[in-house]
Amino acid sequence: MSSVFRSRTARITLSNLSPGPNSQHAQKRLGRGQGSGRGGTSGRGHKGQKARAGNGKPKAGFEGGQTPITKRFPKKGFVNANRKVYAPINLDRIQHWIDQGRLQSSPENPITARELLLSGCIHNVHDGIKLLGDNAPFLKTPIHITPSRASQTAIKAVESVGGSVFCQYYNPLALRDCVKGRADRISAAPTRRTDILWYTNWRNRGYLSPEAVEKNPKVEERWKELSKQLLSFKDQTFDTKGVKKM
């Protein structure tokens, strides 16, 4: 072992850097005679699958040739890659948080996932917030909220007391920016057909619907253009002359 140089000066430079204590070990030398303790079979034992040179270890789940347990049991169902898990929030809980002074809203500063998470009203945003209408009669304060989804019962209850609901699409990056309070990046627009149809529908209070673009005080110029582009398919016509019917 070569001696390790250690600097006694307080300043650290590239010339006096050294490995940490006990971070380096001597190389294990195999097959160098019986006196070394690792000669002959080099610590592998006598013969067998694990003693062969160049032999890779059996892959995880290999059971010696018999049918592994992963194949013996039947499979059922599938995993939906497009599934989203929303964090539910009910109107009575929001009213309770408002009564305690932990939540407040206005048309210019609506309640978002960030305010709900920081106030402790929810503990995880998951893939977005879904507003539900359980115990709707307990809601007495007009609230202005921007969730990812909202039920029809919740929408009617909020608007009946003078509040507003505008459902906004968030992909994982946009949701993280919302929670962290970042506004330096442009949030993504919906790209899947089901999302486009949902967020351009005023019945769902989608933020890209023409009615929402007119009524939302926090509407962006980009949303107005997106609303026109995403709804342009309704006015498109196709020339069917010369097309043979099957």
Render pLDDT for 9-57 as a digit per residue (tens, 0 to 9). 578 899 889 999 999 999 999 999 999 999 999 999 999 888 888 878 8
Phi/psi for 206 (5° steps) reads: -70, 140
- 132 three-state secondary structure: strand
The tens digit of pLDDT for each residue in 200-212 reads 999 999 999 999 9
pLDDT at residue 54, rounded to an integer: 85
The tens digit of pLDDT for each residue in 68-82 reads 999 999 999 999 988
In angstroms, the CA 87 to CA 123 distance is 9
Q: Is the whole-model pTM more than 0.75?
A: no
The tens digit of pLDDT for each residue in 89-141 reads 999 999 999 999 999 999 999 999 999 999 999 999 999 999 999 999 999 99
In angstroms, the CA 55 to CA 76 distance is 36
CB of 131 within 8 A of CB of 165?
yes
Residue 144 has what DSSP assignment?
Answer: E
